Amino acid sequence: MKIVRWKAAMVLGACALAFDGVVQAQSSAMTFFVTSTGSGKGADYGGLEGADRHCQALATAAGAGGKTWHAYLSTQGPNAVNARDRIGKGPWQNVRGVVVARTVEELHLGSNINRETALTEKGDRVLARLDNPPGPNKHDILTGSKSDGTAFAPGDDRTCGNWTKSGAGNAMVGHHDRMGLSNDEPSHSWNSSHPSRGCSDPELAKSGGAGLLYCFAVN
């Protein structure tokens, strides 16, 4: 009986190691994900550099830290940055190996980002409108960008002070599930749906967000 149990334990252990190896291989090939957590301070990431560090840290914890990761975020004002210019050339795939876009152009004209493919670095699905209830809707992803991935002109705040504010202000968000209150183009946009109600976690949550980011591997 002891021998049988020992053999069963060996088989289970081998299966666990094989599964872990598969998971690690998938993670190392990942080049796109939605962050599983926000900054803890709403849209305040300490600027683009802080947002990139957040992406890099989550990717590293998931086994994909060998790549350089950037957050898909634009900034406004002098020396404005376009989100589309800081994410590499593609292609990009999620942790399960599903390609969401092959090029920057495809990403903005016909991406495969949706409720089923916009997974976190852990391979989890982000709560969306169809999941509410039982969970809170988190489909508003911070981008600060127009639909073509470029920055907004100076004026109305669409970046929560270039990602340094956690109180008053606004940020443009996209719907990772491509669903909204209307059957129009902004509601179906993954990167430019509507401005947030504010920059704090409570204000972001009011319209269905949690301060999450899109992260792309640059190399």
The CATH number of whichever domain residue 64 belongs to comes to 3.10.100.10
The answer to whether residue 80 is domain-embedded is yes
H helix runs in the chain, sequence order: 2-29, 47-61, 104-110, 160-163, 201-206
Residue numbers of the domain that contains 135? 31-217
- Give me the pLDDT at residue 11, please: 41
> What is the average pLDDT value for the chain, to the nearest integer?
91
The answer to whether residue 5 is domain-embedded is no
Question: Would you place residue 3 in the very low, low, confident or very high pLDDT band (cuts 50, 70, 90)?
Answer: low
Q: Tell me the per-residue pLDDT of 44-73, one tens digit each, with 9 for 90 and over.
A: 999 999 999 999 999 999 999 999 999 999
Q: How many domains are contained in the chain?
A: 1
Take residue 177 and report the two structure tokens written for it. 């599930």
The answer to whether residue 7 is domain-embedded is no
Q: Tell me the per-residue pLDDT of 132-160, one tens digit each, with 9 for 90 and over.
A: 888 899 999 999 999 999 999 999 999 99
The answer to whether residue 140 is domain-embedded is yes
- Phi and psi, residue 214, nearest 5°: -90, 135
The answer to whether residue 45 is domain-embedded is yes
On whether the CB atoms of residues 69 and 52 are closer than 8 A, the answer is yes
Cα separation, 111 vs 121, whole angstroms = 19
- State the CB neighbour count (10 A cutoff) for residue 117: 18
On whether the CB atoms of residues 55 and 218 are closer than 8 A, the answer is no
The answer to whether residue 165 is domain-embedded is yes
- Phi and psi, residue 112, nearest 5°: -100, 25
Place of tokens 């670095």: 121
The answer to whether residue 141 is domain-embedded is yes
- Model confidence, pTM: 0.88
The answer to whether residue 102 is domain-embedded is yes
Q: Tell me the per-residue pLDDT of 194-212, one tens digit each, with 9 for 90 and over.
A: 999 999 999 999 999 999 9
**Average pLDDT for 32-42:** 98
- Radius of gyration for the alpha carbons in the chain, expressed in angstroms and rounded: 19
